[in-house]
Amino acid sequence: MMLELPKSKVAAVQAAPIFLNPAATVDKACALIAEAASNGAKLVAFPEVFVAGYPYWNWLMTPIEGGAWFERLCRSAITVPGPEVDRLCAAAREHDCVVVIGINERDPRSVATIYNTNLIIGANGTLLGKHRKLVPTWAEKLSWAGGDGSSLKVYDTAVGPLGTLACGENTNTLARFALLSEGELVHVANYIALPVAPASYDMAAAIRIRATAHSFEGKLFTIVACSTVSEEIIEAMSAERPANRALLERKNSAFSGVIDPAGNVIGDPLIDDEGIVYAEIDLSACIQPKQMHDIIGAYNRFDIFDLRVDRRARASASFRDEPEALEAEPVKPQA
């Protein structure tokens, strides 16, 4: 059977959520899915924790000052499965497109355990899987728990074998290599705009560099979707701290775009402004570059290197209940 690889139009959304309002943010997400699909997109990628917001207070306040905001984050986090997920799946099915979207996922048993999670939804509306960010970055550890290896997977989708990592995970060489080893050809890297990074840190450039590195090393397409910082978020975070406004208005804090297997930006990327980036991807373009560097095949030495990935799901406890008592056999009457 001849190898046939898909061609697709993809969309990367650069937008802000309705801050800590999951219902309204899902409304916005569904409208953006409809818009992107009407323009021919077969994959719509959304920012990190788009439903419904990033804990900027961790960078702008002390942990005690941010406590009330953490509670708001917990109350606005959603469960998987849940009504918000159902609506997103219905939108993907209605518009016949793959959707990758970041959420704050609340643990079903621990009301204060939240994961930074990406949902992967098939074009038929099926929730194919979810990926929990393995290691929250820096100040994010005040809000999110780390995921486990069970979600480090590549999914068979209408646009090709697809994997995803959230924000700083795209710096993790071994996480990226694990996805490549599963045959990833389409990578969704989603981010939040981070204007509160150190003054010397150019977030837009850092995002582009990481995406370029993964595409060039893996010979695949990377779709980058980044959030923006809305006036609503700025007002919320600077109401009692006016100096925060200048920090949150810093430019070059968001980059969204599509990178090809040679590391080139294709289509028209966005920096800072809200919008949707579109590009055509042809997975056949992943073949010839691998003749030069196929790091999961001929351009590696697996007799020297051995990566082992533990994909067992973890839980806070495992319970072993007593088996039900066997019913006593009836006593047979003696003759």
Please report the sign of the dihedral spanned by the C-alpha atoms of residue 262, residue 267, residue 270, residue 275: negative
Which residue, among 254, 59, 31, 229, has the nearest Cα to 142 in the 3D structure?
Answer: 59
- How far apart are the C-alpha atoms of 160 and 55, rounded to whole Å? 33
Q: Which amino acid is at 107?
A: D
CA distance 9 to 39: 9
Place of tokens 């643990």: 107
- Respond yes or no on whether the N-terminal peptide bond of residue 289 is cis (omega within 30° of 0): no
167 is catalytic: yes
pLDDT (tens place) for every residue of the chain, 335 residues total: 999 999 999 999 999 999 999 999 999 999 999 999 999 999 999 999 999 999 999 999 999 999 999 999 999 999 999 999 999 999 999 999 999 999 999 999 999 999 999 999 999 999 999 999 999 999 999 999 999 999 999 999 999 999 999 999 999 999 999 999 999 999 999 999 999 999 899 999 999 999 999 999 999 999 999 999 999 999 999 999 999 999 999 999 999 999 999 999 999 999 999 999 999 999 999 999 999 999 999 999 999 999 999 999 998 898 989 876 555 566 666 65
Give the closest residue to 217 by CA, choosing from 175, 160, 157.
Answer: 175
Active-site pick, 30, 89, 97, 167: 167
Which among 9, 28, 42, 133 is annotated as catalytic?
Answer: 133
Closest C-alpha to 22, from 54, 52, 53, 55: 52
State the catalytic residue, choosing from 9, 48, 97, 169.
Answer: 48
Q: Quick check: is 133 catalytic?
A: yes
Cα 182 from Cα 15, distance rounded (Å): 30
Sign of the alpha-carbon dihedral angle for 261, 32, 128, 228: positive
Here the contacts of 132-140 (C-beta below 8 Å, separation 24 or greater) are 132/105, 133/165, 133/166, 133/167, 133/169, 134/169, 134/172, 134/175, 135/168, 135/169, 135/172, 137/167, 137/168, 139/58, 139/59, 140/55, 140/58, 140/116
pLDDT tens digit string along 39-55? Answer: 999 999 999 999 999 99
